[in-house]
């Protein structure tokens, strides 16, 4: 058995036949997706394509009509402690009475289990994660007193504190300034270098070729998925975004640039 190693090894993440519907209107249809390699994976597609829904359904936050999701070969419900999550920034109340430090500390709760309080180990880890996103000086601030980019970094630090092997991030680049975007990408790159898999719902088509290893083109169904070099093509983008030619015009440039470099 050991000889046929690579193909027998269970995929890091696998969605089989997922269908999700809101009020009987399908928002995701027959999704099959398998991730076998560590690295940065972008999920792109037009608004309403179901990008966020796909990762939310995979983690059990949205009910599926049908399908199954597994991680490392077993049902995902039992693997949640190995998975990190960065939700959209708008999903919480930023006026909540909680500091930056306490928010990031929440990332360690999963490893603590019921009743146990975070101790020195968790606090040190929290501080390290804050340093990694450059927010250590803001540890005591109430989270509402941060700019949008800083709030996003706090969410990233919280995900780092989860010490996960697989990450799902829902538009971590939405509404952030250029400085934060750079910090975020450097961080994602270093997570990827450490052998983790990071799945990012991504808005900005122009940065896909620059930062990501694999891409999933989604529009209710999966149009294409695979390495950016072979998958992120004009034809596939055309199929994903349909007749919205103005986007494709801006994209043509990006694709061309990519093809020139090869």
Partner 1 sequence: MFFSQTLIVLTGTLLLGIASGMVGTFAVLRRRALAGDVVAHAALPGLCLAFLAFHSRSIIVLLTGALLSGLLGAISVSLLKRFTRLRDDAVQGIVLSVFYGGGIALTRSIQNHYRDEPGADLESFIIGHAATMMQGDVAQIAVVVAVTASIVVLLFKELKLLSFDEQFCQVQGWSATGLDILLMVLTAVTVVVGLPAVGVVLTAALLIIPPAAARFWTDRLSIMMMIACAIGGVSGVTGTLLSAHFDGLPTGPLIVLTSTAFFILSWIFAPHRGLLWKSREVTDLEMYLPWVEAGDDVPHPSTNSGPPIATQEVP
Segment contacting partner 1 (CB under 8 A): 63-71, 170-178, 191-199, 220-228?
170-178
* Among 60, 73, 195, 227, interactor with partner 1 by CB under 8 A: 60
Sign of the CA dihedral 195, 186, 169, 158?
A: positive
State which residue, 80 or 127, has the beta carbon closest to partner 1. Answer: 80
Segment contacting partner 1 (CB under 8 A): 11-19, 98-106, 192-200, 222-230?
98-106
State which residue, 33 or 159, has the beta carbon closest to partner 1. Answer: 159
DSSP 173: T
Burial class (CB in 10 A: 0-12, 13-18, 19+), 148: middle
DSSP 76: G
Cβ neighbors of 166 (< 8 A, separation 6 or more) are: 12, 13, 71, 82, 83, 84, 196, 197, 198, 199
* Among 145, 190, 230, 256, interactor with partner 1 by CB under 8 A: 145
Q: Is 220 helix (H, G, I), strand (E, B) or coil?
A: coil
* Min separation Cβ 158 and partner 1, Å: 8
* Min separation Cβ 59 and partner 1, Å: 5
Here's the x/- map for partner 1, 107-126, by CB under 8 A: it reads as: --xx-x-xxxxx--------
Structure tokens at 65: 């009509």
Segment contacting partner 1 (CB under 8 A): 33-41, 42-50, 124-132, 209-217?
42-50
Could you tell me which of 207, 206, 205 has the C-alpha nearest to residue 49? 205
* Min separation Cβ 194 and partner 1, Å: 21
Cβ neighbors of 43 (< 8 A, separation 6 or more) are: 51, 54, 55, 199, 200, 201, 202, 215, 216, 218
State which residue, 1 or 120, has the beta carbon closest to partner 1. Answer: 120
Distances (CA, A) of 219 to 23, 45, 50, 53, 225: 18, 6, 7, 11, 12
* Min separation Cβ 83 and partner 1, Å: 7
136 binds partner 1 per the rule CB under 8 A = no
The dihedrals phi and psi of 19, each to the nearest 5 degrees, come to -130, 130
Segment contacting partner 1 (CB under 8 A): 9-17, 63-71, 172-180, 187-195?
172-180
189 binds partner 1 per the rule CB under 8 A = no
227 φψ region: left (φ > 0), alpha (ψ -120 to 50), beta (else): beta
Here's the x/- map for partner 1, 62-81, by CB under 8 A: it reads as: ---------------x--xx
Burial class (CB in 10 A: 0-12, 13-18, 19+), 22: exposed
85 binds partner 1 per the rule CB under 8 A = yes
Summarize as ranges the residues that interact with partner 1 (CB under 8 A): 45-47, 56, 59-61, 77, 80-81, 83, 85, 87, 91-99, 103, 106, 109-110, 112, 114-118, 141-142, 144-150, 158, 162, 171, 173-177, 179-180, 203-206, 241, 244, 246-247, 250-251
């Amino acid at each position: 058995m050991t000889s046929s190693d690579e193909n027998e090894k269970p995929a890091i993440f696998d969605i089989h036949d997922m269908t999700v519907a809101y009020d009987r209107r399908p928002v995701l249809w027959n999704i099959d997706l398998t991730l076998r390699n560590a690295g940065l994976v972008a999920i792109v597609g037009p608004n309403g394509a179901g990008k966020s829904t796909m990762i939310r359904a995979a983690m059990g936050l949205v009910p599926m009509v049908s399908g199954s999701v597994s991680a490392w070969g077993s049902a995902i419900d039992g693997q949640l402690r190995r998975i990190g999550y960065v939700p959209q920034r708008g999903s919480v109340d930023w006026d909540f009475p909680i500091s930056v430090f306490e928010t990031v500390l929440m990332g360690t709760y999963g490893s603590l289990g019921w009743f146990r309080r975070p101790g020195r180990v968790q606090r040190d880890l929290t501080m390290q994660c804050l340093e990694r996103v450059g927010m250590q000086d803001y540890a005591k601030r109430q989270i509402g007193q941060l700019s949008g980019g800083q709030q996003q970094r706090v969410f990233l630090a919280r995900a780092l504190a989860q010490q996960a092997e697989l990450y799902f991030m829902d538009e971590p680049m939405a509404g952030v300034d250029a400085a934060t975007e750079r910090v975020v990408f450097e961080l994602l790159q270093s997570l990827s270098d450490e052998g983790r898999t990071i799945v990012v719902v991504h808005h900005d088509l122009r940065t896909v070729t620059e930062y990501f290893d694999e891409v999933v083109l989604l529009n209710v169904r999966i149009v294409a998925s695979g390495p950016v070099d072979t998958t992120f093509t004009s034809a596939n983008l055309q199929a994903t975004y349909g007749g919205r030619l103005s986007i494709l015009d801006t994209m043509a440039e990006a694709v061309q640039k990519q093809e020139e470099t090869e």
